[in-house]
Chains A and B, each alone.
Chain A
Amino acid sequence: MSSVASSPGVTRGGGLTGRPRSFSRRVADSPWLYRLASVAVVGTLWQLSAMAADSIFIPTFTATAGAVVELIARSDVWEAFWLSNEALLFGFVSSVALGIPLGFAVARLRGIEPLIDPYLTILLVVPMAAIIPLLIMSLGIGMAARVVIIFLFTFPIIVVNARAGVRQVDQNLIEMATSYGATERAIWRRVLLPGSLPPIMAGIRLGLGRAVTGMVIVELLLTPVGIGGLIHESRARFQSAELYGVVVLVVVEALILISIARALERRIAPWARGTALSD
């Protein structure tokens, strides 16, 4: 008849299988410890293998870090990023502005849906990058082409998620509203729009990811201005650290943008569950 057989003061069932964890283990469980450790490990491995390879194409971790710092200080780098992002901005915003209403229309007009659906599927599946050469032929290599390309990358996923957003609104709510005499406009305003907000926001987040991808692909495959130009230059001058540095900056930008989109998603639609359709 002793007292407690199991471990004291467990915060939550530990680990995957719910067995209570001991106190000492909990102390060692702070995520930052592991995150920083993994960064240190990667950095060290990189540094060592780069030094061992001793190749002009493989800069060391420290060289890359230095390059990143340098790049941030250069105004032409900021200009290049801004140039590329201009296309991102126009392409993305027009995608959202046109895509959401189209998604609503497709969801609303039940007859049309099975006809439009195959095209949406194709648009999602097609590697849009392959369209780029075609667009260059007609639009040249200026801003127009870039915006259109980014638009094409982003548009399908916004439409699909807007449509899905409307479709997943609980039928009971619509019937309830109808039974209280709501007009179609009222139903849209009070039930369908708020109800479809979570998937729409998720679609916007996914669309932003695709838009950034589109921007990057445009930069890599099209002629070199903006970010693509920086990359091209670095490669031409064999400045690998600079090249890696630009890549790091691009990744960081993507992360920042997506984090903003995620935060917005949470703020605007906090009741959401994860119901977004990814590609």
Chain B
Amino acid sequence: MIEIKDLSKTFPARGKDAPVEAIHDLNLTIRDGEFLTVLGPSGCGKTTLLRIIAGLEPWDHGSISIDDKDLRGPGPDRAMVFQSFALLPWATILQNVAFGLDVRGVSKKRREERARELIDMVGLKGFENRLPGQLSGGMQQRVGLARALAVDPEILLMDEPFGALDEQTRRLLQEELLVIWEQSRKTVLFITHSMEEAVLLGDRIVLMSPRPGRIVDIVDVPLVRPRASAVDSIEGSAEFASITSDLWQRLREMQTFRRHHHQDEPAA
């Protein structure tokens, strides 16, 4: 369980730019095993939040604890999947997937075994000795996912992982992510700017708004689980439509409100 209390972070002024309050007094509890999506327009602080939880970014005020232990930098309990894939271009797929284990000092034999398992799980069997440059975007992200799963983290942090992919690939990977997740039920924190994605994947949706970054609402997604096998019917359902249109309304309000009022008050 991740507990975030009164979290604030400001990026200091750079050159001519004013300081940016990325996150302001944020409170959030993430339950074990839940798939939490964070949705919001650009600049609302969602990626910053993720990076802070990953241990990559310091914060100014507030506290974060994971299972009642204070957060202190990156750790083996969390693993991240990056929007830009962040694969080592000179290493084979096998080496890339084994990277997290390698850093930890796991023996070559064991880490390669585990890597092969995961390469198979994400459907890339046979590509172990290829280089990332030889793979498509969708395949590269699967490698990124495999790498994250290889270290068996408790928490999976996903930073708009499908943002750089075309729509068809994205849909395929969403489905596959559901399949994989439903087998292991890790805690997932998933950043997106797509409402459909947030509703399709998440148990709850954290809606964030920018300037300063804060949580506007937390929406429950009452769609049944497991969803992986029923993605198409879910997306066609009335419930799905109503939740997404409601989210869109709110996101829209955020933009309009900002445009007309230039204030830091939460949208009505």
In the bound assembly, the distance between CA atoms of A6 and B70 in angstroms comes to 11
A sample of 15 cross-chain residue pairs with beta-carbon separation below 8 angstroms, ordered by A number, consists of A1-B3, A1-B65, A1-B70, A2-B70, A3-B61, A3-B62, A4-B60, A4-B61, A5-B70, A5-B73, A6-B58, A6-B59, A8-B58, A9-B12, A18-B56
Contact A1 B59 (CB under 8 A): no
In the bound assembly, the distance between CA atoms of A95 and B71 in angstroms comes to 62
Q: Say yes or no: is A179 at the interface (Cβ < 8 Å to chain B).
A: no
In the bound assembly, the distance between CA atoms of A11 and B73 in angstroms comes to 17
Contact A4 B58 (CB under 8 A): yes
Across-interface contacts of B71 in A (CB, < 8 A): 5
- B→A interface (CB under 8 Å): 3, 5, 12, 56, 58-63, 65, 70-73
Q: Say yes or no: is A48 at the interface (Cβ < 8 Å to chain B).
A: no
Q: Which residue of A lies closest to B8 (CB)?
A: A4
Q: Say yes or no: is A7 at the interface (Cβ < 8 Å to chain B).
A: yes
Q: Which residue of A lies closest to B64 (CB)?
A: A5
Number of interface residues of A (CB under 8 A): 13
Q: Say yes or no: is A10 at the interface (Cβ < 8 Å to chain B).
A: yes
Q: Say yes or no: is A229 at the interface (Cβ < 8 Å to chain B).
A: no
Q: Say yes or no: is A224 at the interface (Cβ < 8 Å to chain B).
A: no
In the bound assembly, the distance between CA atoms of A4 and B60 in angstroms comes to 7
Across-interface contacts of B65 in A (CB, < 8 A): 1
Contact B72 A8 (CB under 8 A): no
In the bound assembly, the distance between CA atoms of A3 and B64 in angstroms comes to 8
Which of these, B5, B12, B60, contacts A1 with CB under 8 Å? Answer: B5
Q: Say yes or no: is A194 at the interface (Cβ < 8 Å to chain B).
A: no
Contact B61 A10 (CB under 8 A): no
Contact B59 A4 (CB under 8 A): yes
Query: Could you tell me the distance in whole angstroms from the C-beta of B30 to the nearest C-beta in chain A?
Result: 16
Query: Could you tell me the distance in whole angstroms from the C-beta of B54 to the nearest C-beta in chain A?
Result: 12
**Those 4 A-B pairs whose CB atoms lie nearest each other, nearest first:** A6-B58, A5-B72, A20-B58, A1-B63
Q: Which residue of A lies closest to B58 (CB)?
A: A6
Query: Could you tell me the distance in whole angstroms from the C-beta of A179 to the nearest C-beta in chain B?
Result: 26
Contact B60 A8 (CB under 8 A): yes
Across-interface contacts of A18 in B (CB, < 8 A): 56
Across-interface contacts of A8 in B (CB, < 8 A): 58, 60
Q: Which residue of B lies closest to A11 (CB)?
A: B12
Across-interface contacts of B70 in A (CB, < 8 A): 1-2, 5
Give residues 1-54 of A contacting B (CB, 8 Å). 1-11, 18, 20
Contact A3 B58 (CB under 8 A): no
In the bound assembly, the distance between CA atoms of A18 and B73 in angstroms comes to 12
Query: Could you tell me the distance in whole angstroms from the C-beta of A49 to the nearest C-beta in chain B?
Result: 44
Q: Which residue of B lies closest to A18 (CB)?
A: B56
Across-interface contacts of A10 in B (CB, < 8 A): 58
Give residues 92-150 of A contacting B (CB, 8 Å). none
In the bound assembly, the distance between CA atoms of A46 and B71 in angstroms comes to 52
In the bound assembly, the distance between CA atoms of A8 and B71 in angstroms comes to 15
In the bound assembly, the distance between CA atoms of A1 and B65 in angstroms comes to 7
In the bound assembly, the distance between CA atoms of A4 and B58 in angstroms comes to 8
Q: 15 extra interchain contacts, Cβ-Cβ under 8 A, other than A4-B61, A4-B62? A: A1-B5, A1-B65, A2-B63, A2-B70, A3-B61, A3-B63, A4-B58, A4-B59, A5-B71, A5-B73, A8-B58, A9-B12, A11-B12, A18-B56, A20-B58
Across-interface contacts of A4 in B (CB, < 8 A): 58-63
Query: Could you tell me the distance in whole angstroms from the C-beta of A17 to the nearest C-beta in chain B?
Result: 11
Of residues A2, A5, A7, A10, which shows the largest number of chain B Cβ atoms within 10 Å of its Cβ?
A5
In the bound assembly, the distance between CA atoms of A2 and B12 in angstroms comes to 23
**Interface 1/0 per residue, A43-85 and B, CB below 8 Å:** 0000000000000000000000000000000000000000000
In the bound assembly, the distance between CA atoms of A20 and B5 in angstroms comes to 22
Query: Could you tell me the distance in whole angstroms from the C-beta of B71 to the nearest C-beta in chain A?
Result: 6
In the bound assembly, the distance between CA atoms of A6 and B12 in angstroms comes to 16
Q: Which residue of A lies closest to B59 (CB)?
A: A4
Contact B5 A6 (CB under 8 A): no
Q: Which residue of A lies closest to B55 (CB)?
A: A6
In the bound assembly, the distance between CA atoms of A1 and B68 in angstroms comes to 8
Q: Which residue of A lies closest to B52 (CB)?
A: A6
Which of these, A1, A2, A7, contacts B58 with CB under 8 Å? Answer: A7
